[in-house]
Amino acid sequence: MQFNMIKPLIGAALFAAAVAAQAQVAVVVNPKSPVANMSADQVASIFLGKSNQLPNGSAAQAVDLPESAAAREQFYSKATGKSSAQVKAAWSRLVFSGKGTPPKELGSSADVKKFVAANADAIGYIEKSAVDGSVKVVLSVE
């Protein structure tokens, strides 16, 4: 009888752990960039191909995490309101019509951070826990 009472508690604890495990994502730019912060709409415009410029007017070099990265799905869901698959479909249409080139896909958050740190006009996103002084956070996506 007591085991039946414990099962819902275990389920609730596992659910709470899964929610807590969702990584917070940080949109990052080069630390020398004059861009101090960005809205989710500004970030979405760049990552959805509606704009290719940072708020300071310079051309944005957007970089993406691989499709397999959990942070990618969370980023697109929270920052753009679209799933990673919807974003991929939108980019397919833009590429086919010659109206854009999708963000360069890099292999990991470490690769994104390294690219952004080395390129003044780069913008990307990484797990918030991976942020250090080599990049500047312009938006937190939670």
User: pLDDT band at 142, cuts 50/70/90?
Assistant: confident
What is the predicted pLDDT for the residue at 28? Answer: 98
Q: What is the pLDDT of residue 6?
A: 55
Question: In terms of DSSP bridges, do strands 61-64 and 136-141 run parallel, antiparallel, or are they unpaired?
Answer: unpaired
69-126 pLDDT tens trace: 999 999 999 999 999 889 999 999 999 999 889 999 999 999 999 999 999 999 999 9
What is the set of domains in the chain, with CATH numbers? 23-141 (3.40.190.10)
Q: Which residues pair with 29 in a beta bridge?
A: 123, 136
**Cα dihedral across residues 10, 14, 20, 21: positive or negative:** positive
* Span 100-113, pLDDT tens digits: 899 999 999 999 99
